[in-house]
Amino acid sequence: MAGVDATPPPLSAGAGDRASGRTPVRPSTLPGSGAGFAQPRQGGRRPLAGLTPEAPVAELPHVAPADVKRLAKLGITTVRDLLLDLPYDWEQYGPPAPVARLRPGDQATVVGTLVRVLARRSPRGRLDLTEALLQDDDGGALQIVWFNQPYLARQLRAGHRLAVAGAVHLSRYGGLPEMRNPHHELVGEGGPRRVGGLMPKYHLTAGLTSRRRASWVEAALPLAERLEDPLPPATLARHRLLPLAEAIRRGHRPRELGEWRQARHRMAFAELLELQAAFLLARRRMAVERATPIPYRQEVIEAFKAGLGFPLTRAQRKAIWEIYQDLEREVPMNRLLDGDVGSGKTAVAAAAAAMVHAAGLQTVVMAPTEVLARQHLGAFRGYLERSFPDLRVELLVSGLGAKERRRVKAAAASGHCAVLVGTHALIEDDVKLAALGLAIVDEQHRFGTRQRELLRERSEHGRPHFLAMTATPIPRSLALALYGEMALSIIDEMPPGRTPVETRVVEPGRREEAYQVVRREVRAGRQAFVICPLIEESGALEAKAATAEFDHLRREVFPDLRLTLVHGRMRDKDAVMRAFREGASDILVATSVVEVGVDVPNATVMVVEGAERFGLAQLHQLRGRVGRSRLPSYCFLLADDPSAKSLERLRLLEQTTDGFRLAQEDMRLRGAGELMGPRQHGMSDMAMAALQRPELLSEVRQEAQQLLEEDPSLERWPGLWRAAQRRLELTSLS
């Protein structure tokens, strides 16, 4: 895949530092960071004059404006954020070792004297090679090669003392031990300070290196003392947690990995506690809100079922029942309905709207796009208008003419319209609703407190009941942790009669077989998706790769077919998708943007390139884009460079279509953070990793409960209260 290899390796150490044109921070200005080495840890810890933890990162030495932007992408804007984000892992090279003791595959540190340094081109002239020979004090020789760092040949000279840290290979010539692209540091008498031992791995974006992040952390570390610890001392004691400042110090600069683990544990605990406290506070706040209770009426559900045209699944019935129970209460419902694409969430939502209508109240339904709003309009009408002839469903989107808009708004204001379907613009607009009883939000993780306030202002009937729907299967434990202020209904069963998408993992060399099926289906009048590999953290690279793939397919593979391209960097994605849906092309080449709701029933094949880069849950979502009709359909998962492990992971998709099972597996194999998409949830990877441990979560929940029982509004712990409010703003559904 073009472009893929262009992503800088996360830890090209000195390379990144030099490439960005800045001088690495001189060791003398920093306390020794060779964590894992017995070095004085106190040296040079003088607070930076005038700097507070709340200061923007730009105020730290050697942070350029471009770095500020790079860090912001990681959610790091203040010195505090920088300190709180501990390394997610370490490279472990150990103390300097004699070359004679190295074995291929070891991660090692070697200190020695350069015997020679040589710059040359690789045999095919593609790469700049810098080759060096390093001799340790016992006379052992280590071969070193750096790729594409020609400046090294100018900086390093025979006779220099050098420390290198990297993986040990056997060189192809002469069988000497060799390191490729090792970290390096010129050393004086004291030995290496920044290379070898434990080297932190931080989350990065293009242009950052872990070593630069480490040097900023070093500078900021004295400020750790000044951070307020949001956790009450009693909580620290009960759960044997490190105080914040100590956790920050040990987390970034552990003497051994146990200290780092302790620190991460403390950070994760705090984060989860803040979140659980936030949920409890939110629940408490909502519990004093008043909603209009919607009485349950048997004849309404009977009429609803009679008008449906199909029997409800067991899972749908259960969800409807849970919703009806909530609606009967005076406390507003706050429920998340979670079910795979096609599991029939809309029918459940319509059943709720029917009951609300029978109580004389209105329902609004909000969709993320106008296309989906129109789809909902059709569905709600289909489900409701036959059995409830006086129940009017109307659409309000910005694409309407002025006259129609006026008519719909009048119908909403008079109460004549029972269900109003639209986009989010609906609530931003000056729409009046005579008697709003229920708000339904489809696929929207960004429905914040403000929008809810707006909704409440619309109605004289107290706070409306609230139902959110999502097609991202979230394992129950995770939902509890992330959306703890909501009740959860899960639809874990598909309506009968669906033909599952036939899924196959295709190993390299057999892609022609997948293309054959694409050809055959297109000949039969069907359409196909080709999904390009995911390139993390770079929309531009991803777009470039998709464009290259598109050109390749159009010229070399399917010159006789009609292809179109859509990627995240395009202005008019909707138009391309719409044209595809209308049959204007045979094959849509796309980045993962198609993941979000397009409905193309005529598409029967999906080819996913670089499938091993996607999560199972994500692949499952993608796969849901085909198989949306009675026609048999196919999903081919192409792996560029599959390890046995990734093949095994992908094969799960051949075996099951159960989104919740796949999500659970994804969480087990790759962690909760990957499952939910990076940082959408506003939680650190530390907390996400902790979610793998249900016993920890229940410990945290108990602690939050205890704290709030003792002190219901957390007046005694303003730090925790503030942290909880911040969390609530970050997690979105509340």
Report if residue 339 touches ligand ADP, rule: CB under 6 A: yes
CB of residue 349 to ligand ADP, shortest distance in Å = 8
Please say whether the beta carbons of 350 and 308 come within 8 A.
no
Report if residue 472 touches ligand ADP, rule: CB under 6 A: no
Report if residue 342 touches ligand ADP, rule: CB under 6 A: yes
For ligand ADP, the nearest residue by Cβ is 344
Q: For residue 680, give both structure tokens.
A: 């959408």
Q: What are phi and psi of 99, to 5 degrees?
A: -55, -35
**Total residues found in the chain within this entry:** 734
Query: Interacting stretch for ligand ADP, rule CB under 6 A, among 180-188, 311-319, 581-589, 633-641?
Result: 311-319
| Cα–Cα dist 535/545, whole Å | 9
10 Å CB burial of residue 646 (0-12, 13-18, 19+) is middle
Report if residue 341 touches ligand ADP, rule: CB under 6 A: yes
Query: Interacting stretch for ligand ADP, rule CB under 6 A, among 121-129, 337-345, 556-564, 716-724?
Result: 337-345
CB of residue 548 to ligand ADP, shortest distance in Å = 33
Report if residue 243 touches ligand ADP, rule: CB under 6 A: no
Interface characters, 428-467, with ligand ADP (x: CB under 6 A): ----------------------------------------
Query: Interacting stretch for ligand ADP, rule CB under 6 A, among 261-269, 335-343, 389-397, 584-592?
Result: 335-343
Nearer to ligand ADP, 341 or 635 (CB): 341
Distances (CA, A) of 728 to 352, 451, 466, 474, 639: 27, 14, 17, 19, 39
Query: Interacting stretch for ligand ADP, rule CB under 6 A, among 307-315, 573-581, 649-657, 707-715?
Result: 307-315
CA dihedral 557, 590, 570, 448 (to 10 degrees): 180
With CB under 6 A as the contact rule, the residue among 110, 219, 277, 347 that binds ligand ADP is: 347
Nearer to ligand ADP, 97 or 441 (CB): 441
CB of residue 473 to ligand ADP, shortest distance in Å = 11
With CB under 6 A as the contact rule, the residue among 78, 215, 235, 316 that binds ligand ADP is: 316
Nearer to ligand ADP, 470 or 503 (CB): 470
Q: For residue 100, give both structure tokens.
A: 């004679």
CB of residue 658 to ligand ADP, shortest distance in Å = 14
Number of residues in contact with ligand ADP, rule: CB under 6 A? 14
| 3-state SS assignment for residue 21 | coil
Residue 416 CB-half CA count within 13 A? 8
CB atoms within 10 A of CB 23: 8
| Cα–Cα dist 565/543, whole Å | 10
| 3-state SS assignment for residue 180 | strand
Report if residue 620 touches ligand ADP, rule: CB under 6 A: no
Please say whether the beta carbons of 195 and 11 come within 8 A.
no
Report if residue 603 touches ligand ADP, rule: CB under 6 A: no
With CB under 6 A as the contact rule, the residue among 222, 307, 360, 495 that binds ligand ADP is: 495
With CB under 6 A as the contact rule, the residue among 63, 291, 312, 626 that binds ligand ADP is: 312
Report if residue 310 touches ligand ADP, rule: CB under 6 A: yes
Pairing mode of beta strands 527-531, 587-590 = parallel
With CB under 6 A as the contact rule, the residue among 313, 547, 618, 657 that binds ligand ADP is: 313
Report if residue 262 touches ligand ADP, rule: CB under 6 A: no
| 3-state SS assignment for residue 160 | coil
Nearer to ligand ADP, 211 or 625 (CB): 625
Query: Interacting stretch for ligand ADP, rule CB under 6 A, among 246-254, 312-320, 322-330, 652-660?
Result: 312-320
Nearer to ligand ADP, 194 or 345 (CB): 345
CB atoms within 10 A of CB 449: 13
CB of residue 384 to ligand ADP, shortest distance in Å = 13
| Cα–Cα dist 437/362, whole Å | 5
The label of the residue with tokens 């489809």 reads 442
Report if residue 565 touches ligand ADP, rule: CB under 6 A: no
181: left (phi over 0), alpha (psi -120 to 50) or beta: left
CA dihedral 687, 693, 695, 698 (to 10 degrees): 40
Give first-to-last CA distance, the chain, whole Å: 41
With CB under 6 A as the contact rule, the residue among 33, 78, 149, 343 that binds ligand ADP is: 343
Listed in sequence order, the residues at least 6 apart from 302 whose beta carbon sits closer than 8 Å to its beta carbon are none
Listed in sequence order, the residues at least 6 apart from 147 whose beta carbon sits closer than 8 Å to its beta carbon are 127, 128, 129, 180, 181
Nearer to ligand ADP, 194 or 381 (CB): 381
Judged by the rule CB under 6 A, the positions of this chain that interact with ligand ADP are: 310, 312-313, 316, 339, 341-347, 471, 495
